[in-house]
Structure 1
Amino acid sequence: MIGTLLFLAEAHAEVESGFGLKLDILESNLINLAILIGLLFYYGSKVVGNILDQRKTKIAQRIQEVEQQQQQAAATLAEEQQKLAQAQATAKNIIREAEANGQKAKEAILARGQQEVERLKATAAQDLQTEQERAIAELRQRVAALAIKRAESQLREMLNEEAQQKLIDRSISQLGGSR
């Protein structure tokens, strides 16, 4: 293309004056500048357009990826919030059940303790009653032994040999024998 432009410039120069260069810098620079801008616009617009289209496509893809990641993050956040809510509800249920079980255990322990106290009271009362009965029986035996000793000593003092023999004979005859 540049070759074509040079050829046209030479042809134009030959037509006017043959061979030569224009020395008017302002005119020749404007033409050159216009040609350069035209060439840049013609060829550059395609290249720049392609580059911009590629960049636009990449940006659009990146935006789409970011939006997808944002949607995934939002979905994950919602899922995790739901799991957190479920975990909190489960924790509340566990705490409630633990409190209920603790209350039941407390009541059961108190009931067992009360039963144990009642059993110990009953056992203590029974032991006391048994000990009292044993003490009373022992006292009775001692009193009886003392009474027998005293009666024997009084009988010995009051009875002589002959009276003792009569008493023994009378007791034997009452039992069914004779002497």
Structure 2
Amino acid sequence: MKNVTDPFVSLGHWPSAGSFTFNTDILATNPINLGVVLGVLIYFGKGVLNDLLDNRKQKILSTIRNSEELRRGAIEQLERARAHLRKVEMKADEYRMNGYSEIEREKANLINATSDSLEQLENYKNETLHFEQQRAINQVRQQVFQQALQGALGTLNSCLNSELHFRTINANIGILSRAMEEIID
């Protein structure tokens, strides 16, 4: 049996082996076959290729239309979101302003309440000081009065004898009787 690879391996038995020449035989080179195949492909393939290109064109146009619709929907959503954001920002500004107003009002109330408390404490302090001063003055007066009374009693006891005592009583009776006579008249 003959080896299948022999014709490929042995190039020596070919007449043009080792040299390069153009083959001018048209039927041997198959340009007619290639032309016929290409013509058939172009003739029959033109419709298929046009159908494929039309389908592709329709898919691209459909995708573009869908993209445009999605874009319009996204723009509408964006506008709604912007409007909502503006509303939220206005609410936030309103809350912020109300919050600041409330804070200022609370601050003023706290300052007024603190001022009133300080004023009351100042009044209590002044009243307490005045009370303590009066109490101290009264204690000092009482002590001075007691000392003066004890001194006067001591002086009277040491200076008063029965004759001076008798004259003092008579003078007081005289004063009393004159006062009675004036009342009666």
> What TM-score do the two structures reach when normalised by structure 1?
0.67
Kindly indicate whether residue 111 of structure 2 is the aligned counterpart of residue 110 of structure 1. yes
Kindly indicate whether residue 53 of structure 2 is the aligned counterpart of residue 52 of structure 1. yes
Structure 1 residue 68 displacement after superposition: 2.0
Match of 2:133 in 1: 132
Q: For the structure 1 residues 163 and 61, does the alpha-carbon distance in structure 2 shift closer, same or farther, using more than 3 Å as the test?
A: farther
Match of 1:13 in 2: none
Structure 1 residue 63 displacement after superposition: 0.9
Q: For the structure 1 residues 45 and 126, does the alpha-carbon distance in structure 2 shift closer, same or farther, using more than 3 Å as the test?
A: same
Question: In the aligned structure 1, how far is the partner of 2:164 from the partner of 2:68?
Answer: 132
Alignment map for 1:153-168 (pairs within 5 Å): 153-160=154-161, 162=162
Q: For the structure 1 residues 69 and 163, does the alpha-carbon distance in structure 2 shift closer, same or farther, using more than 3 Å as the test?
A: farther
Structure 1 residue 165 displacement after superposition: 8.2
Match of 2:98 in 1: 97
Question: In the aligned structure 1, how far is the partner of 2:147 from the partner of 2:164?
Answer: 21
Q: What whole-Å deviation, never above 9, does each CA across 1:43-90 have from its counterpart, x for those lacking one?
A: 112211211121112111211221122122212221222222222212
Alignment map for 1:28-107 (pairs within 5 Å): 35-107=36-108
Which consecutive unaligned segments of at least 5 residues does structure 2 have? 1-23, 171-175, 177-185
Question: In the aligned structure 2, how far is the partner of 1:69 from the partner of 1:107?
Answer: 55
* Larger proportion of helix: 1
Match of 2:147 in 1: 146
Aligned residue pairs, count:
147
Match of 2:15 in 1: none
> What TM-score do the two structures reach when normalised by structure 2?
0.65
Question: In the aligned structure 2, how far is the partner of 1:31 from the partner of 1:139?
Answer: 150
Q: For the structure 1 residues 163 and 62, does the alpha-carbon distance in structure 2 shift closer, same or farther, using more than 3 Å as the test?
A: farther
Question: In the aligned structure 2, how far is the partner of 1:54 from the partner of 1:164?
Answer: 154
Structure 1 residue 32 displacement after superposition: 5.8
Question: In the aligned structure 1, how far is the partner of 2:151 from the partner of 2:164?
Answer: 16
Question: In the aligned structure 2, how far is the partner of 1:88 from the partner of 1:108?
Answer: 29
Percent identity for Structure 1 against Structure 2: 28
Q: Secondary structure at the match of 1:82?
A: helix
Question: In the aligned structure 2, how far is the partner of 1:163 from the partner of 1:145?
Answer: 27
Structure 1 residue 118 displacement after superposition: 1.6
Give the aligned CA root-mean-square deviation in angstroms: 3.0
